[in-house]
Amino acid sequence: MLKVEQLTIATSSTTIVQEVSFKVKAGEWFALVGQSGSGKSMLSQAIGGLLAPNLQATGKIYFKDQDLSTLSKREMRALRGRHLSYVFQDYQGSFTPFRTIGQHFNEYQKTHGTHDKAARKRQALDALSSVGLPESLYTRYPFQLSGGQLQRVSIALALLLKPSLLIADEATTALDSVSSHRILELLFQLQQDTGCAILFITHDWRHVKKYANHIAVMKDGEIVEAGGKHRVLDHPQHPYTKQLIKAAPTLGKTLPSGLEEIQS
């Protein structure tokens, strides 16, 4: 579904992401972990054509076998939202303060071609209830919602058009642990329901352990190790992966993945 090949991202003076390659399969929960500043967000932005203008990307990104570098800005905009969407850590920044939640849905739906007004409203109300929110929030303003509710709305918007890939960049970092747990359970449920793949960027190994199928570990702009969850968590090869896992006491004393040892 997503294939990144030899992707390098640089400014005129510094290389930030260096020759990164990986694949995300349909329906998979792919976790990208690594220290702050290692280039995870930049990588995720490059996939959707969202890099800042001072950054240059080289290499190839294929989404469903289509080379994204061949798409025009317009085609890329159409792809975002419909086939590939994002949930960001800074969910507040995705909302315009003096527009109701309903208006946010409306605008998004119009951009992506749902022309019938009644159908838009019905779809938006259904989307709110799919993320466990009451329909009454439709007429509220973003600042009248809690952080957890607002992040639910951004998930509802991100999944509205049933994308096949959702990029969740530190989606729960700004939430308290109860809200964060609920949001992840919701994402997991929605992933089961819709079959979308998730590229999940996180610092939190508990979430990796619980939800990921596949893990890639990033350090200083490079993927230093990647593999299935069991392999990476229980039998890490790279010293940096070993160090990160060791520093995550919440993984417990049994096998870090919590799975049974593989019998060879």
Ligand X SMILES: Nc1ncnc2c1ncn2[C@@H]1O[C@H](COP(=O)(O)OP(=O)(O)OP(=O)(O)O)[C@@H](O)[C@H]1O
Residue 247 found at the interface with ligand X (CB under 6 A): no
At closest approach, how far in Å is the CB of 178 from ligand X? 22
At closest approach, how far in Å is the CB of 220 from ligand X? 9
20, 39, 130, 155: which one binds ligand X (CB under 6 A): 39
Strands 214-219 and 56-63: unpaired
At closest approach, how far in Å is the CB of 199 from ligand X? 12
Residue 195 found at the interface with ligand X (CB under 6 A): no
Residue 40 found at the interface with ligand X (CB under 6 A): yes
Please, what's the b/e burial string for 240-250 (b: 16 or more CB within 10 A of its CB; e: otherwise)?
Answer: bbeebbeebee
Give burial (CB, 10 Å; 0-12/13-18/19+) of 9.
buried
At closest approach, how far in Å is the CB of 11 from ligand X? 5
Q: Are residues 124 and 105 in contact, defined by beta-carbon separation less than 8 angstroms?
A: yes
Residue 7 found at the interface with ligand X (CB under 6 A): no
125 sits in which H/E element: helix 117-130
Closest to 155 measured CA to CA, from 259, 219, 85, 224: 85
Residue 48 found at the interface with ligand X (CB under 6 A): no
4, 29, 30, 41: which one binds ligand X (CB under 6 A): 41
Residue 174 found at the interface with ligand X (CB under 6 A): no
Residue 42 found at the interface with ligand X (CB under 6 A): yes
1, 4, 38, 212: which one binds ligand X (CB under 6 A): 38
Count of Cβ atoms closer than 10 Å to residue 1 Cβ? 19
Strands of the sheet with 66-67, listed across from one edge: 15-24, 2-10, 56-63, 66-67
At closest approach, how far in Å is the CB of 89 from ligand X? 7
Residue 159 found at the interface with ligand X (CB under 6 A): no
Helix boundaries (H) for 170-235: 177-194, 205-211, 229-234
Q: By CB under 6 A, what part of segment 55-84 binds ligand X?
A: 55
Residue 31 found at the interface with ligand X (CB under 6 A): no
Q: By CB under 6 A, what part of segment 226-245 binds ligand X?
A: none
Q: What is the DSSP string of 24-63?
A: E-TT-EEEEEE-TTSSHHHHHHHHTT---TT-EEEEEEEE
Residue 11 found at the interface with ligand X (CB under 6 A): yes
Residues at the contact surface with ligand X, assessed by CB under 6 A: 11, 16, 34, 36-42, 52, 54-55
